[in-house]
Structure 1
């Protein structure tokens, strides 16, 4: 095959005799060869005479009735090419898999300026504010109350990252880099008398360092502050905007026009003090809190995307003639017949119409044992097919599937305001107007009856009121306690995702606990071997383990592990077979070994009656029982169970001493649930045979009765209930979805960590209330003094410098108090 790229004449790959070069890439030939595509791709990559490989540099996707490959530049026929990709609600077509892969890896490198970044907007999608869920509108925008970027109400895998999560860390970096030299210049001179720059130049240097922090890094807070004033929904951003703005404007006036200030307000050197560092530090601290909040919301999004990832992107649809075609999941309709191969995830909800297999439904039940499926059995999208091939008929697709409903439940339960933020907003609702009123009254009184120069005294005292009311301590009160508490919790095996989890857990009255992986270890183990008819226990286990070593069943793994722990050698296996719904069989060292239920024993002529009483007793103890026949004679049984955690009993007792009502929910059967309940003791209620929506419904019912509910779990099936509860507690040994959906994670998988988390919540909220009290105490004393109430009787005025010192003292007190959490006994 001749290389079409070597020809630069008409009809070749060149333009004006120059080699074609893709936008930001090597030549299309190099890109193609580097991709190591198939022979069919190579043939499809040849150019047709008259097509241009690079055109005129135009990156538009369409060329006449054909499409342009944005990577290499050649034109392709959308109807015949097999390589497509979607980006920003546009379809793009490529000549080969290599070009498609390069485009998907970095779309903007090939789109350039031809398509500005746009939010991915699904037609008819509703967008809402994460801080004010009642704000809903069509399409993206900003919240009219707080100015935050709206987010899609219905999550999608195509959702673009929150633009604030990209923007705010950049602003934080700028603020942090500039704040360090700002503090060096201001604090060294103020506290130690060390002047890094001259006293005359210092205000201008501080202004140059602070202006980018306040005017650029802090600009979103001014926008939100103004938005809150305009809509009459005063909040924390109102306080931040007023406090930072007052400090910055005062300092700017003192820098530009120091002559308007009376002598009494100057330093010994005759300079008017400035407070740029206060404005800069406040902006930096608030940005830290915002970035942490944004990352927590992003983690919530990852949990939802992990749920959506359970469903495959395509399905194998059967045509009327019986042939198969691979179609996008969105193209599957109710009534379609779909082929599900072994090991594949089921694409949608439906019913089996052909074939037999076992399906791993742990995403729904949290239980490890696969469920046998045959004709007429219902199956759920997102569950995983076992070793058999199934044909299913779809009866629920798209947003009607069980998996889609779980995703919606998680998203709706997690879309709520942080209680601590709501508390701060309620406080600021009266605090901000009161401070503004006091400042205005102060200005008017000093203008009317104050000493000369009246304007100077009025302005300085009004600004002093605003400076001392700057919400630095109020802004630190919550995040400092949370920062220290999360560090303390991490050392105690408790990871806290958000402040709202701590506040909610302090008031929890009912604790709902999942069984598998929470009360139990989540790993089935061999617990008993019973023999009859003179069989040898070690021989029975060795033969059974040899057969089960050929199986993928989780309980089979427990048997093999148990045999290995006893040092048994496994024999040679021949003729392994799986009987769906019955068990397994094989020949081991010439002996016929059959494992399964009573029906399996009767099938091979082994009478199960002599061991049924022992089997029932083991089942009542919560074990899974497998009968074993050797050469058509009943030999005994093997019991496998998920052991209760050693710490569970003591932990439940400790939780009850904390005043908690403890309820166990499980997808397992009633017999196993009762056995576990007896083993741990102290449970107030036990519910079994539950699906994910049942768990979430029970949590909602408890909340509707007025109870504050915490949920502890470890599986995907627990995610809706974890999100619906006032606070979710995920075992660190659990799935990523459970961990991301929970407000706290118990990293050591230790149930007693719930007790430590409860004590941490009590200590943290007590500390936060103390911090808020201290910050308001300083304001309550400082604001009247700053307004000049002591001047008529004692001649005392509080200059902005003293106001700044008082503000710093309040912040210092808050920090010291928060650090006390490091010594809290958990």
Structure 2
């Protein structure tokens, strides 16, 4: 179980029957139900019993509502027609399906769910807000400082959620209720210091105005200077900033005002709590202030005014649905605001692009006449030319004030940082002021030796703006190309009616879907959100998320993924995750989060960019002095002419220098690489993994579920009890393994179900079911102990039947009762179709492939030989700690190790490896402990290595190009070459000449065939 119950509020020997107390009498009908697991005197809270309490409440409520006859509320009552003090098995199963992810992500069920169902939560009176639930994201641990004892707790009280991923893959059973039907989906957040404040809020800001990593560093520094801000992540490519805010110390509005003042960027709140949904509603002008939390139904957590006619209402989807909220607004709203179908990052970038296009066009329209007057042959007098050029150049100079002057001076004053904009400011100011002075002398009939050159300042501004325009366009194309958010459709077909056959369909905005909805997926349409198939059969194309080209058969009970495309059949599905919290959104969040992490090479780039401006300033000063001396002492020019000549060279040096290429070298590549990998079904959750993967020297694979398919097949079963007790024995075994998600348990459970031998309930109740990591699962049945697991753990290897199955290369599941063997199952599975091909490709690159498994040596050798792995690289009968030790030994030999498993019992080895990879499904991407999750199969390992190598090559190219460009451009601008130089008017091309190759290098990854070694 992801969250063990050894120390929860219901720890110890608490009986499930004590899980809940309620009264069904009429006089007590309105009384609030109190969950025993929420006893306020308990030291610790929230484990499986919290879910049992909720199940019992819903079970009783279903009975009171007369829902016992409905298929979704199957009640297994006693002879008296009533259930006992605990929920029926149907409601228990449904509750665990819906709410297990809360335990798996260390969230407080009581505060989020039980309170909204009128039970008294264990957190009552302790939490600052009933909605202040903290989600806990995947924590990328330092590989050199492995910490396996990380725990998380809910704000306001302690939860001892023991994250037990330490399961042996042979027979170690994972009792995690890993279902996909969690109503809240997988909550993405950031682990924080819970002692900081009860007013914790997770903030995401959309930031416009950032053009390179220097801008991102400036914003990050401004955020980190505030004592109320922590866990800062800034991504200038995507144009966002993510952080945790102590609102008790500093308000968000005050912080945004401060950021705008310090950085010159425009920051707008994009979202906050990862637990809430939000709706953007149109309201009559001037009435936005009347929409408050107090005026709206329970469940609304926050109201923000986006503009005079639009409000954003955040709400808890477990407490109130989107359509219910819209209906509650009544006449106060005219409906949903227009939906922007693009990725938010791309949308913000496109706004920036349009603004840049307008500025560039404006500057060009004023610059062209200046160029004509300066370089053309006209009959206009010199004074007229000078005056017209002065007016036009002043117009262009005014445009530079908000674009260059304001951010440069703001950074200098508030942040004490001299950034690239200051280089541009110095260049255009020097050129403009000199030209103004020259015009003044000209009008006074005392012309200078070097006349005015307004074309320099105007063309310089125009070319720099044009370079930023091209860079902005390229960044948008990159973000849109790799974004998966665009897969989210805008509408859904809602089924209205209790019986599917007589239901009517109504097309609604997908944002208005809510829990409990059933929706219809028509042939060849995009699936609107995650759901579970209730009726129909069809094949679904999931290639856009998994990279698998073959369609996947979907029938009753199958899971649907948002953004995938239905085939020729119609499907009726029950919503399991809301738009904005579904698989598409989750993958996008993870890709964006990974690109926000700074790998070590980015630190080098930041250091280089940090020294760039001072170095260029020193170089330009030297150029100014040298040319003054050359003109005065060597060329014997007059002082006015010498100053004019020296200034032109200095301006050129300032203008042609560009550190942006260095700043873009790493993050641009990482954004593209993460997006390409995601489209191929490889979800990279940390930028460090992309950086490390190209250095991988050894690949270690788990066997079951990794090299082989996860679907084992029971080929032989042996029952060692009298025939008259077989039925009860099988019922006990079925109940023990039914809810376990280990491949062996799943296979045995399916086998028993197919034999119709697990339909009867066992004669005795199973209590205290728990997992023994690396061994199996056990429970108490009456006065005896029932165990299922490996032969070694149960000490039955020498039993003739067990020994025979092991000798035949089978995986075994042994069942004992009070240490007596009562049954054994022999299972086999086949290698994945792609295993041989992938292993051959790795070996052809000189990468040895190892296999470690908890299975017996015979079974492991058989599979290894089938896929081409040398027996020298086989390790059988490995416990989770043995797998970790195997990886550690390779790393101590100087190897860079990639470990790939299915996450069932190898989390320790996955975390230990330099690159931890987990083969999973779309529901695993957040819960996985690995750095990388493969949605499409083992071929993702090759994709990961290829993407990493392609990224590394392009990063190296970008650094080399940036260095060569700046060295030669500065030498040319400084006049180091006698017959060749860069005129100051054309020095503005430096922006586009330096940045464009870096962007094209990143975008070239799109044009490389994935199947080749990119």
After TM superposition, the score normalised by the length of structure 1 is 0.52
Q: CA deviation at 1:747?
A: 2.5
Q: Does 1:475 align with 2:660?
A: no
Quick check: 1:627–1:638 contact (8 Å CA) kept in 2?
A: no
Quick check: 1:486–1:495 contact (8 Å CA) kept in 2?
A: yes
The verdict on how the C-alpha distance between 1:428 and 1:268 changes in structure 2, with shifts beyond 3 A counting, is closer
Q: CA deviation at 1:461?
A: 1.9
* Equivalent in the alignment of 1:726: 914
Quick check: 1:514–1:664 contact (8 Å CA) kept in 2?
A: yes
Q: CA deviation at 1:808?
A: 1.3
* Equivalent in the alignment of 2:501: none
Quick check: 2:655–2:990 contact (8 Å CA) kept in 1?
A: no
The verdict on how the C-alpha distance between 1:584 and 1:743 changes in structure 2, with shifts beyond 3 A counting, is closer
The verdict on how the C-alpha distance between 1:692 and 1:437 changes in structure 2, with shifts beyond 3 A counting, is farther
What does 1:91-490 align with in structure 2 at a 5 Å threshold?
101=130, 122=195, 160=245, 170=267, 177=351, 180-187=354-361, 190=364, 211-212=401-402, 226=416, 241-252=418-429, 254=431, 258-260=435-437, 272-275=458-461, 278=464, 418-425=599-606, 435-450=616-631, 451=637, 452-490=640-678
Q: What is the DSSP-based 3-state SS (H/G/I as helix, E as strand, rest coil) of the residue aligned with 1:789?
A: coil
Say which of 991, 994, 997 aligns to 1:813: 997
Q: Does 1:503 align with 2:691?
A: yes
Task: Provide the rounded CA distance (Å) in 2 between the counterparts of 1:686 and 1:476.
Answer: 43
Q: CA deviation at 1:682?
A: 1.2
Q: CA deviation at 1:510?
A: 2.0
Q: What is the DSSP-based 3-state SS (H/G/I as helix, E as strand, rest coil) of the residue aligned with 2:938?
A: coil
Quick check: 1:485–1:821 contact (8 Å CA) kept in 2?
A: yes
Cα-to-partner distance string for 1:1-40 (whole Å, 9 max, x where unaligned): xxxxxxxxxxxxxxxxxxxxxxxxxxxxxxxxxxx99647
Q: What is the DSSP-based 3-state SS (H/G/I as helix, E as strand, rest coil) of the residue aligned with 1:624?
A: strand
Task: Provide the rounded CA distance (Å) in 2 between the counterparts of 1:761 and 1:86.
Answer: 44
Q: What is the number of residues matched between the two proteins?
A: 544
Say which of 651, 676, 699 aligns to 2:838: 651
Say which of 791, 801, 804 aligns to 1:614: 804
Q: CA deviation at 1:769?
A: 2.4
Task: Provide the rounded CA distance (Å) in 2 between the counterparts of 1:717 and 1:223.
Answer: 55
The verdict on how the C-alpha distance between 1:572 and 1:656 changes in structure 2, with shifts beyond 3 A counting, is closer
Task: Provide the rounded CA distance (Å) in 2 between the counterparts of 1:468 and 1:428.
Answer: 15
* Equivalent in the alignment of 1:558: 747
The verdict on how the C-alpha distance between 1:572 and 1:729 changes in structure 2, with shifts beyond 3 A counting, is closer
Say which of 756, 765, 768 aligns to 2:952: 765
* Equivalent in the alignment of 1:65: none
* Equivalent in the alignment of 1:387: none
Q: What is the DSSP-based 3-state SS (H/G/I as helix, E as strand, rest coil) of the residue aligned with 2:126?
A: strand
Task: Provide the rounded CA distance (Å) in 2 between the counterparts of 1:472 and 1:693.
Answer: 47
Q: CA deviation at 1:437?
A: 3.8
Quick check: 1:785–1:797 contact (8 Å CA) kept in 2?
A: yes
* Equivalent in the alignment of 1:824: 1008
CA RMSD of aligned residues (A): 5.9
* Equivalent in the alignment of 2:813: 624
Q: What is the DSSP-based 3-state SS (H/G/I as helix, E as strand, rest coil) of the residue aligned with 2:811?
A: coil
Task: Provide the rounded CA distance (Å) in 1 between the counterparts of 2:365 and 2:912.
Answer: 51
* Equivalent in the alignment of 2:125: 84
Say which of 947, 970, 977 aligns to 1:783: 970
* Equivalent in the alignment of 2:898: 710
Q: What is the DSSP-based 3-state SS (H/G/I as helix, E as strand, rest coil) of the residue aligned with 2:918?
A: strand
* Equivalent in the alignment of 1:116: none
The verdict on how the C-alpha distance between 1:193 and 1:214 changes in structure 2, with shifts beyond 3 A counting, is closer
Q: CA deviation at 1:784?
A: 0.9
Task: Provide the rounded CA distance (Å) in 2 between the counterparts of 1:216 and 1:697.
Answer: 57
Q: What is the DSSP-based 3-state SS (H/G/I as helix, E as strand, rest coil) of the residue aligned with 1:707?
A: coil
Q: CA deviation at 1:782?
A: 1.6
Cα-to-partner distance string for 1:696-730 (whole Å, 9 max, x where unaligned): 56545533432222232342765555455433333
Q: Does 1:802 align with 2:991?
A: no
Q: CA deviation at 1:787?
A: 0.3
Cα-to-partner distance string for 1:670-714 (whole Å, 9 max, x where unaligned): 676556545544155345666666655654553343222223234
Q: What is the DSSP-based 3-state SS (H/G/I as helix, E as strand, rest coil) of the residue aligned with 1:513?
A: strand
* Equivalent in the alignment of 1:63: none
Q: What is the DSSP-based 3-state SS (H/G/I as helix, E as strand, rest coil) of the residue aligned with 1:745?
A: strand
What does 1:598-613 align with in structure 2 at a 5 Å threshold?
611-613=801-803
Say which of 870, 873, 894 aligns to 1:685: 873
Quick check: 2:884–2:909 contact (8 Å CA) kept in 1?
A: yes
Quick check: 1:477–1:772 contact (8 Å CA) kept in 2?
A: yes
Task: Provide the rounded CA distance (Å) in 2 between the counterparts of 1:637 and 1:454.
Answer: 97
Q: CA deviation at 1:528?
A: 0.3
Task: Provide the rounded CA distance (Å) in 2 between the counterparts of 1:801 and 1:614.
Answer: 86
Task: Provide the rounded CA distance (Å) in 2 between the counterparts of 1:429 and 1:445.
Answer: 26
Q: Which has the larger radius of gyration?
A: 1
The verdict on how the C-alpha distance between 1:170 and 1:461 changes in structure 2, with shifts beyond 3 A counting, is same
Q: CA deviation at 1:738?
A: 7.3
Q: What is the DSSP-based 3-state SS (H/G/I as helix, E as strand, rest coil) of the residue aligned with 2:130?
A: helix
Q: Does 1:663 align with 2:850?
A: yes
Cα-to-partner distance string for 1:639-688 (whole Å, 9 max, x where unaligned): 23565433223322221212213334456676765565455441553456
After TM superposition, the score normalised by the length of structure 2 is 0.43
Q: CA deviation at 1:447?
A: 2.4
Q: CA deviation at 1:800?
A: 3.1
Q: What is the DSSP-based 3-state SS (H/G/I as helix, E as strand, rest coil) of the residue aligned with 1:170?
A: strand
Quick check: 2:880–2:906 contact (8 Å CA) kept in 1?
A: yes
Quick check: 1:531–1:637 contact (8 Å CA) kept in 2?
A: yes
Task: Provide the rounded CA distance (Å) in 1 between the counterparts of 2:880 and 2:789.
Answer: 28
Task: Provide the rounded CA distance (Å) in 1 between the counterparts of 2:717 and 2:421.
Answer: 76
Quick check: 1:584–1:596 contact (8 Å CA) kept in 2?
A: no
Task: Provide the rounded CA distance (Å) in 1 between the counterparts of 2:413 and 2:885.
Answer: 40
Of 458-467 and 252-261, the range deviating more from structure 2: 252-261
Task: Provide the rounded CA distance (Å) in 2 between the counterparts of 1:285 and 1:506.
Answer: 28
Task: Provide the rounded CA distance (Å) in 2 between the counterparts of 1:802 and 1:729.
Answer: 50
The verdict on how the C-alpha distance between 1:121 and 1:416 changes in structure 2, with shifts beyond 3 A counting, is same
Task: Provide the rounded CA distance (Å) in 1 between the counterparts of 2:757 and 2:664.
Answer: 64
Say which of 923, 943, 954 aligns to 1:756: 943
- Gapped regions of structure 1 (runs ≥ 5): 1-35, 43-80, 88-99, 106-118, 124-140, 228-240, 294-413, 587-593, 603-607
Task: Provide the rounded CA distance (Å) in 1 between the counterparts of 2:678 and 2:471.
Answer: 22
The verdict on how the C-alpha distance between 1:726 and 1:147 changes in structure 2, with shifts beyond 3 A counting, is farther
Q: What is the DSSP-based 3-state SS (H/G/I as helix, E as strand, rest coil) of the residue aligned with 1:184?
A: helix
The verdict on how the C-alpha distance between 1:609 and 1:667 changes in structure 2, with shifts beyond 3 A counting, is closer
Quick check: 1:545–1:559 contact (8 Å CA) kept in 2?
A: no
Q: What is the DSSP-based 3-state SS (H/G/I as helix, E as strand, rest coil) of the residue aligned with 1:576?
A: coil
Q: What is the DSSP-based 3-state SS (H/G/I as helix, E as strand, rest coil) of the residue aligned with 1:85?
A: coil
Q: CA deviation at 1:446?
A: 1.9
